[in-house]
Chains A and B, each alone.
Chain A
């Protein structure tokens, strides 16, 4: 079974541009999470899906951020009008019965640099 994959691994963009990241969870995992990790800090929760439904959003997720999981499989995270403060590692995790009901498995992350 393959792990969680994320694309791209690195993204450099100019301030004001839009970016979109993709996450493919472990197959058959019905719960998918997005986290953001800034340099030297622990990851912070952004949002979570159960199947295609977005059930919780952090206040960190401003109006410029939107996440989707249209068919309950892969998910996308879009940031509009990027700002330098958006520079961070964006981590995706999925969770299911594999390994226990409450263990989240993480992808390699997408490192965003906003110039």
Chain B
């Protein structure tokens, strides 16, 4: 069975601070995919990034960066210089390499950025 754990339920920061969201996963698949989605108050899940299990290269996209460490089964997400518009719930998700590729989500981390 697959499992995703986001231990932080809520993080509150002041604008321009950095914030790191933790994600730990469990899977028996040798090939799998990891995702981060953002859910703003409007409710729609917005895709942010996808990583393949065989590609541990970290990635930076603007103010967002991701740290994938297979050895610790972690896929952490950092927002640099946070902005009020970053306030949302962030979900880490996992899908296996088999046909179907349904997503298993963590419980989400609510990020509140105060001006």
Contact = CB atoms under 8 A, between A and B. Distances in A.
Contact of A44 (B33, B37, B44, B105): B105
A106 B37 contact: yes
A107 B107 CA distance: 19
A108 B91 contact: no
Contacts of B91: 42-43
Contact of B44 (A40, A42, A56, A108): A108
A29 interface: no
Interface in A97-113: 99-100, 102-109, 111
Given A42-B91, A43-B91, A56-B102, A103 B107 contact: no
Given A100-B50, A102-B33, A102-B50, A45 B102 contact: yes
A67 interface: no
Interface of A: 33, 35, 40-45, 48, 50, 55-56, 89, 91, 93, 95, 99-100, 102-109, 111
27 contacts: A33-B102, A35-B103, A41-B107, A42-B4, A42-B93, A42-B105, A43-B45, A43-B91, A44-B105, A48-B100, A48-B102, A50-B99, A55-B100, A56-B100, A56-B102, A89-B43, A100-B50, A102-B50, A102-B101, A103-B35, A103-B50, A106-B44, A108-B42, A108-B43, A109-B43, A109-B44, A111-B43
